[in-house]
Amino acid sequence: MIEEEILTIEEVAKYLRVSERTVYDWAQKGEIPCGKIGTVWRFQKAEIERWVNSRLSNHHLGASYNAVQVESIISVDRVLFLEYETKRDALMALAANLATAPQVKNRQELAEEIIRREELMSTAIGRGIAIPHVRLSSVTDLVVSVGISRINILDFQALDDEPVRLLFMIAAAYNQHAYYLQTLSFFSARLKNKELRRSLLDSQTAEEAYRLLVRV
């Protein structure tokens, strides 16, 4: 494993938005993929990403579907059609859109944290989907912007090597950990539906895409 693929406890804690003690306890109990170099825990970037995606995919969805009301976190004006070749440009455009939501109080912090998170570890989960997400003290309530790309975004480094076309950017308040995970899980599960993905990509207006997303 090369050095850039190895994360410290501190880096994993920042990525997962949990305490370093929590990561240490998971490592001690064997609940998270890791290894020791001497007496120091180290984590392989790709393994942590697979672990996170697996937890999202396998998360119990009953509570998520009951708790997540899509119409309360997405609006028509936060559905954006994108035509950017790079993930950075796509993420910056989507962050600028999300920053127009009244729940977001610090536009610059949102953009910086979204990019920092993406540099640490890709948020592409496969099937052409990316779910960039952050929890910030400058966000008052969970809110989402949706990006539908008209062209393939090739540099997301998804596990299945598929180009990204659908982006769901989530910003939550720092104290919304449970709802944040429910929302991540909700979209991860909902977008396994191939027909929904195809319909979103074929949608011609933001209103059309919005109706697809709020449909029960």
Give the active site residues: 133
d(CA 130, CA 161) in angstroms, rounded, equals 12
d(CA 119, CA 140) in angstroms, rounded, equals 25
- If we measure between CA atoms, which residue out of 188, 212, 184 comes closest to residue 198? 212
d(CA 65, CA 70) in angstroms, rounded, equals 10
d(CA 186, CA 58) in angstroms, rounded, equals 11
H or E element at residue 4: none
Burial-class residue 195 by CB neighbours within 10 Å (0-12, 13-18, 19+). Answer: exposed
CB within 8 Å of 24: residues ≥ 6 apart: 9, 41
Q: Where are the beta strands (DSSP E) in the chain?
A: 6-7, 35-37, 40-44, 79-82, 124-126, 129-130, 133-136, 143-153, 164-173
H or E element at residue 209: helix 206-214
CB within 8 Å of 196: residues ≥ 6 apart: 190, 212
